[in-house]
Structure 1
């Protein structure tokens, strides 16, 4: 099942994003319909061996700055229908770059067990403009799928495949906006996944907050996030997982959150490395307050994992257990 097989029918899902944008009446770039015809026309002039493919525009087409978890559910359902109902054996998702890494990470957790590869790509400049990277990314991704890719989600950009569990957008310019971050893993893979984690399982939209710690961090921000109904909180800590542990209000807010069933996960603000809450006292006090270790998870992976776990009806104790187990490479 994990042996890569050449794709026979690729479903192209078009969400919008820079790749298909055109200037509107105001002279600004905005998502535009008609990308399928443009894509077919440029492929006719290329020496790219592409298997059969079909095109499906998502509704609405969006600038990826407007991406939201509810849209992820539409995307997951479209992918599942393409595979289970329409018989597609590979998918290409065209997506804006600003939140592409977030969406790819979310889909990695929401499509566990999918027997088909899913590649995400996009472009930094719209198709058809000078120096655009659009067609090289589209054609390269199609060629990768035609050659065969293992089941699961990956990003394709500028000739490179990147795992979504380590990917982040690190540049707002150029042809290489994405990078695979060097994060510390080491967590054990989950041996048996709950049936609710299957890609076919419906997922409810969850409410997950992200808070970066900064000098002078006010515990009122944490209370506000929980008070607004956050089911989980990604706490972006210093270094290997430290925070203002000599601040009683901060620790009390964490204890109250976890006592109320909020899943609090610590990740590092650093580009490289990861969290180990047992190294420093400032970290162990977070653990004592109920905070879970996010290990080497990126912000994108932690957010996607929590959305994947919270929307399927698992008990809080089971969610807490799975947070610290590797599900799809995020903690290895």
Structure 2
């Protein structure tokens, strides 16, 4: 892949640029000057690619991430690439929801010819022995080497697929990994123009509901009747659930008939959905559930957002949800 000549650095906030406030660590502006000062201290600082810096205001702690921020990131990336003449993108992001944003951008930027890396840190820049500068300059060096188009996460010396990554730890530098979930399914033959990076999106009302022993039909119905456009159901094992509870099955079936998209993933860290293995899974599938294979929660949620946000119907959303668009389902 061609080496980066000019990088767009989009700073959204997060621990990497935080400074102490009266209430504790909080996002702070002025990070561009700190970055340039640190680059001058790096052994290869003068050899790194040229870069342009943009802040996504207001800067946020990523715990406050919303769909609106995803859309703003997508718009800022496209605007920065067009206006600054950049050939690659580095997004600085907080770690709490970094995996969610990486997945969202993976689907919002389908077909983008430039590579996009996301990074952040477990400790603020400037902490002795911290991971902020190694992650940031490590990501720049990766882009300098040349990366393929698509969204990836660079963290603790590793490149991780944007639609497969998950955060496993909250107190270690190697906080992120690609979850070892079974990858199977069928690639989409091509990405339609209705789903590529040029397509505007809108916010979507989505709920995530894990199954657990004791979940009542009235609880599930309350979620389904709250105005959601899609429900991501986190099933047991290979896609099973309380298939002998007719009230739960009826709640799902009725919601599907109303036009709610019903999608299923496995709540097992290394699980995948394969409805036909057990009768309990087959009965759930019959309510209208579409299986998400080995997709993570982050990827499945982001994919539903991108599909419905593009204006697809329930039937179209179910069709594309089951196909691999960027490596979320198939290696």
Query: If the length of structure 2 is used for normalisation, what is the TM-score?
Result: 0.97
| 1:280 corresponds to | 278
Q: Which one of 15, 18, 27 corresponds to residue 21 of structure 1?
A: 18
Which runs of 5 or more residues in structure 2 are unaligned? none
1:42 correspondence with 2:38: yes
Deviation at 1:103, TM superposition (A): 0.2
Could you say what secondary structure the match of 1:250 adopts?
Answer: helix
Distance in 2 between residues matched to 1:40 and 1:120, nearest whole Å = 19
User: Distance in 1 between the 2:20 and 2:212 partners?
Assistant: 39
- Could you tell me which residue of structure 2 aligns to residue 122 of structure 1? 120
Distance in 2 between residues matched to 1:35 and 1:195, nearest whole Å: 37
The CA distance in 1 between the partners of 2:203 and 2:264, in whole Å, is: 22
Deviation at 1:78, TM superposition (A): 0.7
The answer to which of 240-249 and 46-55 deviates more is: 46-55
* 1:267 corresponding residue in structure 2: 265
Q: Who is 2:93 aligned against?
A: 95
How big is each residue's C-alpha offset from its partner over 1:211-244, in whole Å with a ceiling of 9 and x where there is no partner? 1111111222322222221111110110001001
The Cα offsets for residues 107-161 of structure 1, whole Å up to 9 and x where unpaired, read as 0001001010000000000111233100000010000001110001000001100
SS of the residue 1:135 aligns to:
helix
Query: 1:76-96: CA deviations, max 9, x gaps?
Result: 001111223332110000000
Q: Where do 4+ consecutive residues of structure 1 move more than 3 Å? A: none
Query: Residue 82 of structure 2 aligns with which residue?
Result: 84
In the TM superposition, what is the alpha-carbon distance from 1:50 to its structure 2 partner? 1.2
Judge conservation of contact 2:12–2:93 (CA < 8 Å) in 1: yes
| SS at 2:265 equivalent | strand
SS at match of 2:276: coil
Deviates more, 1:53-62 or 1:43-52: 43-52
Q: How many pairs align?
A: 328
2:84 is paired with a residue of what secondary structure?
A: coil
Asked whether the 8 Å contact 2:110–2:191 carries over to 1, the reply is: no
Q: Alignment partner for residue 2 of structure 2, among 5, 8, 18?
A: 5
In structure 1, what is the equivalent of residue 139 of structure 2?
141
- In 2, Cα distance between the equivalents of 1:298 and 1:188? 17
Bigger CA drift: 39-48 or 148-157?
39-48
Which residue number in structure 1 is paired with residue 27 of structure 2? 31
In structure 2, the residue corresponding to 1:149 is in which secondary structure? coil
CA distance in 2, matches of 1:44, 1:131: 18
Equivalents in 1 of 2:183, 2:217: separation in Å? Answer: 29
Match of 1:205 in 2: 203
Deviation at 1:257, TM superposition (A): 1.2
Alignment partners' CA distance in 1, 2:192 and 2:264: 24
**Which residue in the other structure is 1:155 paired with?**
153
Give runs of aligned pairs for residues 162-201 of structure 1, distance below 5 A. Answer: 162-201=160-199
